[in-house]
Amino acid sequence: MRKIKIGTRGSKLALWQAYHVAELLKNSDLESEIVIIDTKGDQVLDVSISKIGSKGVFTQELEDQLLDGRIDLAVHSAKDMQSILPEGFEIIAFTEREKENDVILSHQPEMDLTDGSKPLLLGTSSTRRVATLRHFYPHIKTVEVRGNLQTRIRKMDEGLCDGLLLAYAGVHRMGYDAQIVQELSLEEFTPAVGQGSVAVEVASNMDSALKIKLTEALNHTETALKLRAERAYLRVLEGGCSIPVFALGHLRENRLKLCGGIVSLDGKQRISLEVEGSKEDPEALGKQLAKEVFDAGGKEILDQIKSTLNK
């Protein structure tokens, strides 16, 4: 059988993900090779993601190569995947999820979010994290920091900020655990949909036998159930990278619990709810949560966010 061509962005973290997928394929006796592709999100670093446009910022170029057959599968951070894929594409696998928490990276080990007596400047490119900080810790200031993890750490070292607000998964995979000064609670900093997992995307017209073989090699069933619920929630809210929505699935035996919500850009309004149901229909649970969030005032918050971002 020919080698499976894995398309990926070129950052160290993206390459970690691609080699992780290659290793899973190898465990199923499938050979692969890695193809590095530059995306718009990698090229434009001086503009916030919400200004570039959140749809396909990190995926468009990979999808172009899936479509014309230059690569067989594309590897993404699941949290970077838009809620509705363009026609002709599908996600066939989610890898086993890493710990989902957000963390603060800093050279100041005594840093404490709750201490309002000391000025604190945190770097992040996430509207969800900024809005969450504004809600729970309004005394903390933020600065836009983009680029790969190593670039962000360099900017912090150069004095741009006191610390970085990041996903534990990326920090851990890159070996920066020693610089973590605080792990944030999942209740306050409920993560972005898909945070901690790797998504594997293919063209829908891929040979069905190969598609099945790849899914069996790469998909982690429990993670996929959680993410199917989270992504169904995101689809209803039409959330992209620039919309501060959040959701996290929890699986216990045959029951699936989904916690999620939305926070206004200024942090003043935050809705967080949870629903529970059978794991047999995770999409239905995601839609149920979205309806309850909308009914609780989430629709007005979402409309306001979209209005502000479109100005």
- In the set 80, 177, 266, 281, the catalytic residue is 80
The partner residues of 275 in beta bridges, in order of sequence, read 258
Residue 41 has pLDDT above 80, yes or no: no
CB 270 within 8 A of CB 264: yes
Separation of alpha carbons 311 and 308, rounded Å: 6
Q: Where are the beta strands (DSSP E) in 184-252?
A: 198-203, 245-252
Give SS3 for 273: strand
Strand 198-203 vs strand 89-94: parallel, antiparallel, or unpaired?
A: antiparallel
Q: In which band, very low, low, confident or very high, does the pLDDT at 213 lie, cut at 50, 70 and 90?
A: very high
Is the pTM higher than 0.85? yes
Closest CA to 170 of 153, 187, 189, 190: 153
pLDDT (average), residues 122-143: 96
pLDDT over 50 at 65, yes or no: yes
How confident is the model at residue 239, as a pLDDT?
Answer: 62
What radius of gyration do the chain's Cα atoms show?
Answer: 19
CB 265 within 8 A of CB 131: yes
pLDDT of residue 52: 37
Give the pLDDT of residue 30: 96
pLDDT band at 83 (very low <50, low <70, confident <90, very high): confident
Phi, psi dihedral angles at 288 (to 5 degrees): -65, -45
Domains of the chain: 1-97+197-219 (3.40.190.10), 102-183 (3.40.190.10), 221-311 (3.30.160.40)
User: Per-residue pLDDT tens for 224-262?
Assistant: 999 999 999 999 987 666 889 999 999 998 899 999 999
Distance CA 241, CA 119 (A): 28
CA distances from residue 263 to 15, 126, 187, 244 in whole angstroms, order as listed: 32, 12, 13, 6
pLDDT at 80: 86
CA distances (Å), origin 257, targets 65, 190, 237: 37, 14, 19
Q: Which helix (H) or strand (E) holds 118?
A: none
- Catalytic site includes residue 80: yes
What pLDDT digit, counting tens, does each position of 155-173 carry?
A: 999 999 999 999 999 999 9
Q: CB neighbours of 175 closer than 8 A, spacing ≥ 6?
A: none
